[in-house]
Amino acid sequence: MHKIKPYHYNINREERQAKSAAFLRKIAAADIEMQIDTLTLKNFRNYADETFQFAPGLNVLYGKNAQGKTNCAEALFYLCTGTSFRTKKDRQLIREGEEHAHIFAAARTRFGSVTIEADIFETKREVRINGGKIARNADLLGNIDGVFFSPAELRLIQDGPDERRRFLNVSLSQLSRAYYTALVRYNRILLQRNKLLKERDFAFIMDTLPVWDEQLCRYAAEIVLARQDYVRRLSPLAAEKHAFLTGSAEQLQILPEKSWGESREQIEEGLRREFSQNYERDVRLGFTASGPHRDDLKILIDGKEARAFGSQGQMRTAALALKLAEVDIFTGLAGEPPVLILDDVMSELDLARRRKLLSAIGGVQTVLTCTHTEKVLQGRQVQKVRIAAGAIVPAPARKGKGEGKG
């Protein structure tokens, strides 16, 4: 399944903006909504065999801690991206004592119905889309888009550049398989370049580096162009969401830390110059110390670095604003809203921000986990599912009018 691409990076910015505006008008007139209908987990984490039925709007998974709520959220995100937000080792997803785990989801998108299933073994995995086995993770991306947020996403603000690059990479990889492919190839070439830098033959290194750099610059330009365009879209949307959450008490800005240029040619030339001017430094360090793999974002609150000067509450609100902006970007570029996965987010928000968050996610299928629904939902009528020990606990039957309490 292929995404609609509203613009291409090889045209100028004015043309991109015009094409994007036309695309947004087109999808605004359509009734578009992505929805996961069912999710089945077999031998996944603490689930033996369970099937979830999801409603179009807000779905609340509730129960005590360590019962399996986050495991369900993890399975959804895995089918969206092919990765876990908790571990890099797929074998850790397999229920203890079992040989493999199975995840299955049936969903509806603006392109039609889709099923995704993953069989996870100790040393491999098999993923199928509509029954057909896929060989590359790139073929999984974009079938079901997902945006994930939990209290741990505070790392997006307070941790190092790796977390902010991860945020960009996860989002852009779902939106563009071309971006994901460029990222994979860039990292593969970067690995070879770093291996070369550790060689002892200095003359050989200096002769060979330009060969790797030509390939590296080509894929780096694709990555940089996509990130720059994404941040241009993200910054005003995040500022708008942040103003809504804070009552316009503070101003949020998202800026790239470094600009490599505006056109593909400028970026390639800038990177080529950056690499060649620092050969001796890279040889001394034994790795490539510049390039898009070292990029970062500046996240400012009222003009000050949130990471250095923001309180926990300010950083949490900024991270949430970024995620809500991400939802809007998916809706605009992919043509339909993503599935929003909120894991134990409400416990970290005050009452006013809880209400604003629930207001902001209207029209987006959301899976929200929490421990106490009454503290979160404030009387809202939503689909609630109680989880205990890796299983759905059936809701108690309602008594009829003629039944007593006895």
269-285: pLDDT as tens digits: 999 999 999 999 999 99
Is the same domain home to 195 and 255?
yes
Is the same domain home to 179 and 203?
yes
Is the same domain home to 326 and 357?
no
Mean pLDDT, residues 99-108? 97
Domain boundary among 334, 357, 375: 334
Is the same domain home to 282 and 347?
no
Does a structural domain hold residue 247? Answer: yes
Domain count, the chain: 2
Is the same domain home to 169 and 315?
yes
Question: Is 325 a residue whose pLDDT tops 50?
Answer: yes
Does a structural domain hold residue 152? Answer: no
Does a structural domain hold residue 65? Answer: yes
The pLDDT, as a whole number, for residue 2 is 40
The pLDDT, as a whole number, for residue 362 is 86
Question: Is 12 a residue whose pLDDT tops 60?
Answer: no
* Structure token pair of residue 97: 């004592």
Does a structural domain hold residue 318? Answer: yes
Give CA separation, 131 vs 3, 40, 105, 202, in Å: 20, 15, 12, 52
Is the same domain home to 58 and 139?
yes
pLDDT band per the 50, 70, 90 thresholds, residue 348: confident
CATH number of the domain that residue 375 is part of: 3.40.50.300
Domain boundary among 286, 316, 334: 334
Range of the domain at 261: 159-334
52-95: pLDDT as tens digits: 999 999 999 999 999 999 999 999 999 999 999 999 999 999 99
The pLDDT, as a whole number, for residue 201 is 93
Contact status, residue 118 vs residue 103, Cβ threshold 8 Å: yes
Is the same domain home to 213 and 350?
no
Is the same domain home to 309 and 371?
no
The pLDDT, as a whole number, for residue 112 is 92
Average pLDDT, the chain: 89
Domain boundary among 334, 350, 370: 334
The pLDDT, as a whole number, for residue 169 is 97
Mean pLDDT, residues 261-268? 91
Pairing of strands 125-129, 58-62: unpaired
Does a structural domain hold residue 4? Answer: no
Give CA separation, 17 vs 11, 20, 24, 247, 262, in Å: 10, 5, 10, 29, 15
CATH number of the domain that residue 304 is part of: 1.20.1050.90
73-110 as b/e: b if 16+ CB within 10 A: bbbbbbbbbbbbbbeeebeebbbeeeebbbbbbbbbbe
The pLDDT, as a whole number, for residue 26 is 44
Is the same domain home to 130 and 251?
no
Mean pLDDT, residues 25-44? 74
Neighbouring C-beta atoms of residue 140, cutoff 10 Å: 23
Is the same domain home to 267 and 362?
no
Does a structural domain hold residue 11? Answer: no
Does a structural domain hold residue 198? Answer: yes
362-385: pLDDT as tens digits: 889 999 999 988 666 766 778 999
Does a structural domain hold residue 150? Answer: no
172-205: pLDDT as tens digits: 999 999 999 999 999 999 999 999 999 989 999 9
Is the same domain home to 320 and 377?
no
Is the same domain home to 172 and 294?
yes
Contacts with 109 (C-beta within 8 Å, 6 or more apart), sequence order? 1, 34, 35, 143, 144, 336
